[in-house]
Homo-oligomer: A and B are copies of this chain.
Amino acid sequence: MSAPRFHVVYRITPDDPRPVEAHAKDICIEETVEIPEDCVPKGHWEAGIVGKIESITPRGGEPQDYDVDISYRTDIANDSIPNLLNVLFGNISIRRGIKIVDIRLTPEQLKAFGGPRVGIDGIRRDLKVHGRPLATTAIKPLGLSAKELARLCGGYAKGGLDVIKDDHGLIDQHFHPFEERIARIQEAITAANAQTGRTTHYYPMIAGRFDQVEAQMAYASAQGCYGVLVPPMLIGPDTGFHLARKYKLAVMTHPTFTGTHFHDPRHGMTPAMLLGRLFRIFGADISVFPNAGGRFTFSNQECLDLADAMREPLGGLKSGFPSPAGGMTIEKVGAMLEMYGNDTALLIGGALLKYSPDPEVSARAFLTSLEEAVARKART
């Protein structure tokens, strides 16, 4: 009867003439018992096993939509990522006009999922970088040799970048086999770190098959990588988080194959909930997302909400870096600092290749632009 419950706010835009209450009740049943209402055992209602409508708030607008707060027993979602997603947005993902705009887990659930293991403070401590955003890049393009990719990374590290990640297309292709690529790149970065006395972290992409992915994590850890780039929707929503925790690697999440949730304002989940709140709860120390004004479709407000979701107080969980990316340039650094503030991992990828053939020169220009923007901001 008094089992603890967690809350999900679904923004419902009814796609038929039935009242919103009927749509909300559909969700309560579909995401739990999934049987006709009159077949639900009486004890199930009493025990709260069916989802429960807690409130319905009309939002106005045309067509009319509503924010509906539905609660579920925590023991139905079972503190497991696959199970939680199944309850949040399983079969109802195949209906229309349902968008998740808020997810409020209980303190016990937050503790069980654990959140970022390292978090913003941990990453800053290890990098010894404070008072400014992190300068981050992606290793591109797919199809170069591991040696060429390593040369680029050595230059980026010498030029002062804080974080280097694989492009998400770099997996285990014969152009740059996983082990050779990770070993050569980490070597080049380690050598540069020894030379500069600074620290650059490397996050290789982990996207192997089920039978490869643990060995890949173990290998990245053994090579001295600080973290890994995890694509939850390619390798399984909990696979990367689980293994990174086991091998004590920081987690940078990648949004590849997540986009169908976002493009319709009336369906899916908001970027803040999926790439921010959920990925952070699951363990993202850094969440990469497509910045407004780049090649993708997120609005300024969606990006800011996502950044908030990574950093706002949330039970006792650590905060994580939002990492705006996708079509960013050195010229935009000042604007990005204004928009996101210091606790951000600014990610400039292709534009560094374009800036100069020498990665060290590009990296230095990025750093200089960043430091100038921070100084400018401090003066105002």
Contact = CB atoms under 8 A, between A and B. Distances in A.
A77 to B, nearest CB: 9
B259 A261 contact: no
Query: How often does this chain occur in the complex, in copies?
Result: 2
Interface stretch (A179-187, A188-196, A305-313, A345-353): A345-353
B263 A267 contact: yes
Contacts of A85: 233-234, 257
Contact of A211 (B78, B242, B349, B351): B242
Nearest to A232: B236
Contact of A94 (B173, B175, B238, B259): B259
Nearest to A236: B236
A257 B39 contact: no
A235 B82 contact: yes
B94 A242 contact: no
Contact of A236 (B95, B144, B168, B235): B235
A55 interface: no
Contact of A239 (B231, B239, B262, B290): B239
B94 A262 contact: yes
Category for how many chain A residues contact B: 35 or more
B141 A86 contact: no
Interface stretch (A30-38, A122-130, A331-339): A30-38
B236 A353 contact: no
A18 to B, nearest CB: 12
Contacts of A210: 236, 238-239, 242-243
Contacts of A67: none
Contacts of A235: 82, 236
The 3 closest A-B pairs by CB, nearest first: A236-B236, A93-B259, A94-B259
25 contacts: A26-B295, A33-B140, A34-B140, A34-B349, A34-B350, A35-B141, A39-B353, A41-B141, A49-B141, A49-B142, A82-B209, A91-B168, A91-B259, A91-B326, A93-B257, A93-B259, A94-B255, A94-B290, A94-B297, A233-B233, A235-B236, A236-B239, A260-B261, A260-B267, A263-B267
Given A76-B143, A86-B207, A89-B257, 19 more contacts: A26-B295, A34-B140, A34-B142, A34-B167, A35-B140, A36-B351, A44-B143, A75-B174, A78-B173, A82-B208, A86-B234, A90-B169, A90-B256, A91-B296, A96-B263, A209-B238, A210-B236, A260-B260, A263-B267
